[in-house]
Amino acid sequence: MLTKLKKKVQSILATEAKAAHKIGLTPNIVSAIGVVMAFLSALAYAAWQTHTFYLLLATFLLLLSGFCDALDGVIARLYHETTGFGGFLDSMLDRYADVAVYAGIIVGGLCDVLWGVAALTGSLLVSYSRARAEAAGIEMETIGLAERAERIIILAVASITAAFWQPETAMNAGIILLAVLSNLTVLQRSLHVYKKLRKQ
Per-residue pLDDT of the chain (200 residues; tens, 9 = 90+): 555 555 666 667 778 888 888 888 888 899 999 999 999 999 999 999 888 899 999 999 999 999 998 888 888 888 877 787 878 888 899 999 999 999 999 999 999 999 999 999 999 999 898 888 888 888 877 788 888 888 999 999 999 999 999 999 999 999 999 999 999 999 999 998 988 888 77
How many H-runs (helices) and E-runs (strands) does the chain carry? 8, 0
Radius of gyration of the chain (CA): 17
Among residues 78, 87, 75, 73, the alpha carbon closest in space to that of 149 is found at 73
> Is 94 part of the annotated catalytic residue set?
yes
Number of domains in the chain: 1
**pTM for the predicted model, two decimal places:** 0.88
- Which of 95-110 are b and which e, b meaning 16 or more Cβ less than 10 Å from the residue's Cβ? eebbbbbbbbbbebbb
DSSP for 50-79?
A: G-THHHHHHHHHHHHHHHHHHHHHHHHHHT
pLDDT (0 to 100) of residue 156: 95
Domain membership of residue 98 as a residue range: 2-199
Q: Say which residues have a Cβ less than 8 Å from residue 152's Cβ, sequence separation at least 6.
A: 62, 63, 65, 66
Annotated catalytic residue: which of 72, 94, 98, 112?
94
Residue 175's CATH number? 1.20.120.1760
